Chains A and B, each alone.
Chain A
Amino acid sequence: MSTPGVMATQVPPEFTVEINERKCVRCKRCTTECGFEALTYSREYDAIVADDAKCVACHRCVTMCPKHAIRVTDNSLAYKANANFSDIHRKNILKQAETGGILLTAMGCDRDYPVLWDHILIDACQVTNPSIDPLREPMELRTYIGRKPDCLEFDPDSDPLKLKTELAPNLKLDVPVVFGGMSYGSVSYPVHKSLMLAAERCGTFMNTGEGGLHRDFYRHKDHVIVQCASGRFGVHEEYLNAGAAIEIKIGQGAKPGIGGHLPGEKVSEDVSKTRMIPAGTDALSPAPHHDIYSIEDLSQLIYALKEATRYRKPVGVKVAAVHNIAAICSGIVRAGADYISIDGFRGGTGAAPRVIRDNVGIPIELALAAVDDRLRQEGIRNQTSLICGGGIRQSSDVIKAIALGADAVMIGTSALVALGCRVCQKCNTGKCSWGIATQNPRLTARLDPEEGAQRLTNLLNAWSHETQEVLGALGVNAIESLRGSRERLRGVGLDEKTLEILGIKPAGR
């Protein structure tokens, strides 16, 4: 097969950019704001000219234009109706006919598979039990992540109370939301810094992702989970000890079963140092860990990491939600994981083949319910904590996830949106106008870590308040009374089997 030459594209632009000439004052700001170089100033016409084909609808120019002179709209060409061959299918075929390549994309699955969160409703108290006012009464969200014993033993003769049981190390979360793994390289330095500062202020954790931890950040270690992925980028003893917990990344919701790909353009000098790879080279992490071909191997790595950190830190495992997730997680618990992060198929990514992102894995709602059930049936639920993620968009998703059985949730996309991301799905290009998914210093300078931290802190505070409101309405004042309390959830418009898997009743019952 010969490599195709460069062809003129037949794919029409996705968006249309219109500049209102009357409003525009020709300040040219938009031309520098656009990371994708879609806008230029034409001296000849004294006007801003848009190359629609380059626009990704990231809204940077729209947001920054002082005169609100820019409008980005869908380039909604009429296609002859066809319920089977949608315009998306036709465009994708054209792209592949032109390039012969895998379609690459970023962020989470954008197809309209049912979102089960939107088919679940929450209970509230009326008459027989009082609701509680979160403004007047304590409303506790504190959560501990890590292995717990089934029961405790106390010194019978000691007053004050003294514990005899040795406890495994746990992470203390003031809010049951952590920032999911996003690597330095896929996202920028100021993103990592914003996440870290916010985690510190909110009493939670950020996860380094698979690209190591910049030296500057070692001092924030009490709020960092360091990841160890198949590429082992940036993994050394000091790094392992630089976090509050270690997470072995087996898979990711957006691309279960395949490795990571950080294009060379994003491997800057700093990224190269942190990852311990040459600058400008593609960072490819292998699909499996080449030392983990079975569950016993996973156990060995878990204990190797525990040894390396003298059993002072919880070691977790991150997996993508795939069909057999319940059995897999049961194995992971038995292999010694102190917590499991389960990433649903809607989880985000910095780069993934579209075919995988949009077709592989299962929804987190079902995965979580199945895993929690299985671990309870086997009596090992206490031995591990469950963090779930993959499409968590709002506090109600958090609440429903916890009621289904999660100890905490992880957010990636939502955190980036708080920082300015418009989910344009072009992270893989390294051109992110918001300074998020790029290493271009001109672009990353746009994200002020202080402001970023504030925005993230605000988001988590807002979600905390909302969660407390719902707890109060449920008549409980501690998050552990919500956790796994599926009795307080009802399904609408769900078939019987789905309800059974979720372990909830239909509304009206």
Chain B
Amino acid sequence: MYKRDLEHIPSGCAISGILNRKGKRIDGRKIIKSIALMHDRSNGLGGGFAAYGIYPKYKDYYAFHVMIDDEESRNRFECYVNQHFTVEHDEKIPTAKVNGIHNPPILARYFVKVGEGKLEDAGIAEEDYVVRQVMHVNSNIPGAFISSSGKNMGGFKGVGYPEDIAKFFKLEDYNAYLWTSHGRFPTNTPGWWGGAHPMTLLDWSVVHNGEISSYGINKRYLEMFGYKMELMTDTEVIAYLFDLLVRRHKLPIRIATAALAPPFWKDIDAMPEPQRKAYTAIRSVYGGALMNGPFSILVGFTGGMIGLNDRIKLRPMIAAEKGDFMYMASEEAGIRVIEPEPEKVWAPKAGVPTIGLLDEGVEL
């Protein structure tokens, strides 16, 4: 097994997401059913899920899901993680034997805290510290890869069809208020589990259908802010862009999405002041963050999920609502199979984000 796809691999895909606005947690069966229906949109070379609210017992700890090649790599990783974090608890991620899932890496999770004094030494915010360590492990520790690193959430992914991956990780045993999922159709064999979606950083998770044709500049833009693109995938770029714009630059979500998939100049020029000025600034300042090319993405985070299409909607995306539930998927059938009678179904417009947030005051 090798750690990195050295080439940037284009891929097509299916995505689906379910959010309960009240924070009510449901098990994995619905999301599995939804993504499994869109089986033909993937080709067995990658499937994955992100689930939020699954570790209430450890909700104040960063949950590191780690893919490990062998015992030696495990030692290297554990040595590093113990040096930089306080590990509250670690365990094997439970898995089942499933036909069609081959050669999984060693899968383990570590619930960690940033130890006293670490931040003062580094002189940075806690989350930046975590980002730095995750990037260090992923670039420099051979045989170990942190596949998700948020609090009270986790990414589960691997090489296989998404429904098989779900069985493998026993996802019907987890309860989450937000699920996203992905079935992948890469154009060559990644052969590596880390390359599947979701791509995550802290509590950001991204599942993505499409290709970011502006990958080259988005990557160089992020590098300027200290991000390292180890995976050579455009999905990774999306996760980092959200981290940069929302967490670090503190842009409200609707502005961050306006930077990533901005309105056309002709529409901006027609806006009244002060909007015109604001959008002009967004485009001229965040040009390096503009994501161009065909994509539909679902971004999960602690507070909810965001669906976003490219500026001319070159990839499909449907959204629906029923009661406290919000659904988004590549195909309407992927929603109807789990919610036959939604109250509202709509096709989000190109470049306009569909934002589902937890209701205010929801206790997780």
A161-B275 in contact given A129-B210, A475-B213, A481-B217 (Cβ < 8 Å): yes
Within 8 A of B (CB), among A243-260: none
| A476 and B214 in contact, given A142-B265, A487-B219 (Cβ under 8 angstroms) | yes
The docked-state distance in angstroms from the alpha carbon of A376 to that of B223 is: 8
Are B224's CB and A481's CB within 8 A? Answer: no
For window 91-133 of A, CB contacts with B under 8 Å fall at: 125, 127-130, 132
Contact B264 A140 (CB under 8 A): yes
**A382 vs B211: C-alpha distance when bound (angstroms):** 26
CB distance from B163 to the nearest CB of A (A): 24
**Bound state CA distance, A154 and B282, in angstroms?**
10
Is B10 interfacial (CB-CB < 8 Å)?
yes
In the complex, A480 has a CB within 8 A of chain B:
yes
Q: Give the CA-CA distance A480 to B10 in the complex, in Å.
A: 21
Q: Which residue of A132, A381, A482 contacts B224 across the interface (Cβ within 8 Å)?
A: A381
| Residue B131 lies at the interface, judged by CB distance under 8 Å to chain A | no
Given A152-B249, A163-B278, A381-B224, A476–B213 Cβ distance below 8 Å? Answer: yes
Does A162 sit within 8 A of B, measured CB to CB? Answer: yes
| Chain B contacts with A in 235-293, Cβ cutoff 8 A | 248-252, 255, 262, 264-266, 272, 274-275, 277-288, 290, 292-293
Q: What is the CB-to-nearest-CB distance from A458 to chain B, in angstroms, rounded to a whole number?
A: 23
- The number of inter-chain residue pairs (CB within 8 angstroms) is 125
CA distance A15 to B314 in the complex (A): 58
Cβ-based interface call for B11 (8 A): yes
Query: Are A151 and B285 also in contact (CB < 8 A) when A140-B264, A484-B216 are?
Result: yes
Instruction: Specify the chain A residue showing the minimal Cβ separation from B284.
Output: A144
Question: A128 — which chain B residues lie within 8 A by C-beta?
Answer: 10-12, 187, 211
* Smallest CB gap from A373: residue in B: B220
CB distance from A164 to the nearest CB of B (A): 10
A148 and B284 form a contact (CB under 8 A): yes
Q: Is B345 an interface residue (CB 8 A)?
A: no
How long is the Cα–Cα vector from A167 to B8 in the complex, in angstroms? 36
- A148 and B288: CB pair below 8 A? no
Q: Mark A380-414, 1 if CB is under 8 A from B, else 0.
A: 01100000000000000000000000000000000
Whether, in the assembled complex, A17 has its beta carbon less than 8 Å from a beta carbon of chain B, the answer is no
Interface residues of B in 300-330 (CB under 8 A from A): 311-312, 314
Q: A129-B210, A376-B223 are in contact. Are A480 and B283 (CB under 8 A)?
A: yes
Docked pose: A127 CA to B285 CA in angstroms? 32
> Are A162 and B281 closer than 8 Å at their CB atoms?
no
Closest chain-A Cβ to B225's Cβ sits at a distance in Å of 8
Indicate which residue in B249, B274, B292 contacts A162 across the interface (CB closer than 8 Å).
Answer: B274
With A and B bound together, what is the CA distance between A482 and B211 in angstroms? Answer: 15
Once the chains bind, are A476 and B216 in contact (CB under 8 Å)? Answer: no
Q: Is A280 an interface residue (CB 8 A)?
A: no
B342 interface residue, CB < 8 Å from A?
no
Number of interface residues of A (CB under 8 A): 43
Across the interface, do A475 and B292 meet the contact criterion of CB distance under 8 Å? yes
Residue in A130, A132, A138, A485 whose beta carbon sits within 8 Å of that of B217 in the complex: A485
| Distance to closest chain A CB from B83 (angstroms) | 28
Q: Are B281 and A478 in contact (CB under 8 A)?
A: no
B111 at the interface (CB under 8 A from A): no
B52 CB–A CB distance under 8 Å: no
Interface residues of B in 1-25 (CB under 8 A from A): 8, 10-12
* A481 B214 Cβ-Cβ under 8 A: yes
Q: How far, in Å, is A381 (CB) from chain B's closest CB?
A: 6
> A193: CB under 8 A from chain B?
no
Decide yes or no whether B348 CB sits under 8 A from chain A: no
- Nearest CB of A to B355, in Å: 15
Asked whether A488 lies within 8 Å of B216 as measured between CB atoms, the reply is yes
Tell whether, in the assembled complex, residue B283 and residue A152 are in contact, meaning their CB atoms are under 8 Å apart: no
A152 and B251 form a contact (CB under 8 A): yes
B215: interface (CB < 8 Å): yes
A505's nearest neighbour on chain B, judged by CB, is B7
**Given A125-B213, A475-B294: A161 and B312 within 8 A (CB)?**
no
Q: How long is the Cα–Cα vector from A106 to B36 in the complex, in angstroms?
A: 70
B292 touches A476 (CB 8 A): yes
Query: What's the nearest-Cβ distance from chain B to residue A368, in Å?
Result: 14
Complex alpha-carbon distance, A376 and B224, angstroms: 5
B274 touches A163 (CB 8 A): yes
Query: Nearest-CB distance from B274 to chain A (Å)?
Result: 5
**Across the interface, which residues of B come within 8 angstroms of A477, CB to CB?**
292, 311-312
| A170 located at the interface, meaning its Cβ lies under 8 Å from any Cβ of chain B in the complex | yes
Looking across the interface, which residue of chain B has its beta carbon closest to that of A385? B284
Are A487 and B216 interface neighbours, CB within 8 A? yes
Which residue of B is nearest A160, CB measured? B275
In the complex, are the beta carbons of A129 and B213 less than 8 A apart? yes
CB distance from B16 to the nearest CB of A (A): 21
Binary interface profile of B, 198-238, with partner A (CB < 8 Å = 1, else 0)? 00000000000011011111011101110000000000000
Nearest-neighbour CB distance to chain B for A219, whole angstroms, equals: 24
**Could you tell me if B281 and A481 are in contact, using CB atoms closer than 8 angstroms?**
no
A249 to B162, CA, bound (A): 61
Cα separation A161 to B215 with both chains bound (whole Å): 28
| Chain B residues within 8 Å of A162, by CB | 274, 278
Question: Hey, which chain A residues are within 8 Å of B220, CB to CB?
Answer: 376, 484-486
The chain A residue sitting closest to B295, CB to CB, is: A129
Taking CB atoms, residues of chain A closer than 8 Å to B293 are: 129, 475-476, 481
Q: Which residues of A451-509 are within 8 A (CB) of B?
A: 474-478, 480-488
In the bound assembly, the distance between CA atoms of A32 and B266 in angstroms comes to 51
A4 sits at the interface (CB 8 A): no
On whether the beta carbons of B252 and A154 are closer than 8 Å, the reply is: yes
Q: Which of B248, B266, B311 has the most CB of A within 10 A?
A: B311
Name which residue of chain B comes closest to A380, CB basis. B224
Rank and list the top 7 A-B pairs by shortest CB-CB distance, nearest first: A487-B216, A480-B287, A128-B10, A485-B216, A481-B214, A481-B292, A476-B292
A-B contact pairs, 26 of them (CB 8 A): A129-B10, A129-B294, A152-B255, A152-B286, A153-B250, A154-B255, A161-B275, A161-B279, A163-B274, A376-B223, A381-B224, A478-B287, A478-B311, A480-B214, A480-B283, A481-B213, A481-B214, A481-B217, A481-B290, A481-B293, A482-B217, A484-B216, A484-B288, A487-B8, A487-B216, A488-B216
Besides the known contacts A132-B312, A137-B312, A483-B287, 15 further A-B residue pairs in the complex with CB atoms under 8 A apart: A127-B187, A130-B294, A140-B264, A148-B285, A160-B275, A376-B224, A379-B224, A475-B211, A475-B292, A477-B312, A480-B283, A480-B290, A483-B288, A484-B217, A485-B217
